[in-house]
Structures are given as C-alpha cells and as structure tokens.
C-alpha cells in the first residue's frame, strides 16, 4: 500500500485487493488460525518453530508471518500493547477470513502458587480496559472459546508444561492500572487494593489484551483463547524477562495443530463444537504416535 493510494472509502479503509489499512494483509495471506503475540519480535520466534514460514507484512506495531506447522497453514500477527491496537488486529484479520485466534502473551501472576515461568490459560477476562466498552455493554462477558481453550489444555498436557487455568484481568495500563507505582510513586486511591480484590475473586493474572480478543471474538462469532507466560509474580515481586515464553509459544502452536484435527472431525461428524467423542478419537490417534 503506497503513500497517496486511494482506499475504498473512509469507512472501509482497504484497497481494491482488500489489503487492510493497518495490518496490510489481504485474504489468502493469512490462515484461519492466527497466533497473537503483543510483541512484533515474538512473531519471528513463533515462526521459528514452523516447518516453513514467510513474512506477509510489517507495518507499525503489526508484523504478520504465515507458514506451515506440522502441515497446518498457520499465521501469527503482533497486536502491539493494549486494547486499541488489539481491536484493530482482530477487525482486520476477521475481514481477511481468519476466525480462530490464540493470544500468546506475557503476564503478571497475582498468586504465590503461580511460579514465574508457569503458563496461564484464560477461561475469561475481567474487562478493565476501555476498548471493549466501546463495542458492547459492560455486562457482556469476555469469555474464551471452549474449543480453543480445550486445545490449549490438550497441548499443555501433551507437552508436559506447568499451567494454570482460570480468570485473567485485562488492564489498559501496565503501571498504575495494575497497581504498580507510577512515576514518583503515584498511585490514585481508586487503584489501591486492586490486586487484593482481584485475588479475592479468584482472578489469576494481569495482562492487557485478552479481554479485547475475547469480547470482539464473541460478538463476531469467532473463536479465541489465550495462553500467557507468567514473567512476573506480584506477590513474590519476582520478574524474569521472557520466563516461560518459549513454552507458551510451543503450546499455542501445538494447540493449532490439535484444533485443526478437531475441526476436521467436527466436519466429518457434523458437530458444531468439540465433543467428548472427538477428543477421545483424537487422543486414541495421539497415543499411537
């Protein structure tokens, strides 16, 4: 997309070939299965586990690679940090035909029992960000898709990594919004006690994108899940850069492979969701490997 190029309209900013304004991807560039790290650099790391990969586009915070993982066409797009840029990624990926999203992120654990380097698979997210509220009423839940979450659990189990399953809180702010002191120790009264409150209602972790991905995906009838590496623990005050990130990437890639098998079975068995029979059939085949 060149500078000065005239797009379809102000409301639909894409080219004649449907190249999207921000991500600069078009239909056929990307798989139905897209991994969503925040960090553009992590897209390359994700693709390094694929059998074959190529760069599709790189524009602003959005880097997209596509390729093949165990014979499954797969893509990864960075969302940038936080809800607004993440919503743009979902909007434009959906427009080019993607329908299954897995966030591959980093997170701060709220409980002592979660070790730095463990993974957290989210069943849903508390919508502490603002973007999803511009889409739908605050009472609307930000929940992960059952199929994708089950595939993430299956991948974590088969790869034998430590993981926790539960609720996540998605914030618009890494510092003050996650009850970290701002510059000069600033913390407003309404953020004090947030961590204790979230712990008391059984929220496992803080991150910044899951709620947007879950909410938009639910609204549009798309599927989404999230696996994050706990690089920080807010109780023990440990912070280890990239701890567990490689495990999160392996789990997300493997979850796509598993989902692709389940999706095939769903078509064959005329099911609209993953059933115990589908999981049983997959596991029987898996054990034969």
Q: Write out the residues near ligand URA by the rule CB under 6 A.
A: 106-108, 174, 178, 206-208, 231-232
Token pair belonging to 207: 């991150």
CB of 170 to ligand URA, least distance (A): 8
CB of 137 to ligand URA, least distance (A): 25
In whole angstroms, what is the distance from residue 122 CA to residue 88 CA?
Answer: 21
CB of 190 to ligand URA, least distance (A): 19
Nearer to ligand URA, 222 or 243 (CB): 243
Which residues are known catalytic residues? 22, 92, 180, 234
CB of 81 to ligand URA, least distance (A): 8
Token pair belonging to 288: 């034969």
In whole angstroms, what is the distance from residue 253 CA to residue 36 CA?
Answer: 11
CA angle 104, 106, 109 (to 5 degrees): 130
CB of 61 to ligand URA, least distance (A): 15
Token pair belonging to 172: 């618009």
Q: Which helix (H) or strand (E) holds 223?
A: strand 223-233
Q: Which helix (H) or strand (E) holds 232?
A: strand 223-233
Nearer to ligand URA, 139 or 237 (CB): 237
> What are the residues whose beta carbons fall under 8 Å from the beta carbon of 2, sequence distance 6 or more?
none
CB 30 within 8 A of CB 96: yes
**Beta-carbon count within 10 A of 141 CB:** 13
Nearer to ligand URA, 50 or 214 (CB): 214
Nearer to ligand URA, 108 or 124 (CB): 108
Nearer to ligand URA, 18 or 45 (CB): 45
HSE-up of 47 (CA within 13 Å, CB side)? Answer: 20
């Amino acid at each position: 997309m060149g500078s000065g190029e005239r797009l379809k309209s102000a409301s639909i900013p894409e080219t004649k070939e449907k190249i999207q304004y921000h991500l600069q991807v078009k239909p056929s560039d990307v798989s139905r299965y897209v991994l969503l790290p925040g960090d553009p650099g992590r897209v390359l790391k994700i693709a390094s586990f694929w059998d074959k990969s190529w760069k599709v586009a790189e524009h602003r915070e959005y880097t997209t690679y596509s390729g093949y993982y165990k014979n499954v066409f797969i893509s990864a797009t960075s969302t940038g940090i936080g809800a607004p840029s993440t919503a743009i990624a979902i909007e434009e990926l959906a427009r080019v035909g993607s329908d299954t999203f897995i966030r591959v992120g980093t997170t701060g654990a709220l409980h002592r029992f979660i070790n730095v380097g463990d993974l957290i698979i989210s069943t849903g997210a508390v919508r502490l960000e603002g973007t999803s509220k511009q889409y739908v009423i605050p009472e609307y839940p930000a929940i992960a898709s059952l199929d994708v979450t089950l595939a993430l659990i299956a991948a974590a189990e088969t790869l034998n990594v430590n993981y926790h399953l539960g609720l996540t809180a998605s914030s618009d702010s890494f510092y003050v919004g996650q009850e970290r002191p701002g510059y000069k120790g600033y913390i407003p009264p309404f953020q004090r006690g947030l961590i204790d409150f979230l712990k008391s209602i059984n929220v496992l972790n803080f991150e910044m994108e899951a709620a947007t991905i879950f909410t938009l995906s639910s609204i549009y009838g798309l599927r989404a899940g999230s696996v994050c590496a706990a690089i920080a623990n807010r109780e023990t005050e440990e912070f280890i850069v990239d701890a567990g990130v490689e495990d999160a990437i392996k789990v997300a890639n493997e979850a796509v492979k598993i989902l692709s098998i389940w999706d095939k079975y769903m078509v064959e068995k005329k099911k609209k969701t993953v059933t115990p029979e589908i999981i049983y059939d997959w596991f029987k085949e898996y054990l034969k490997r």
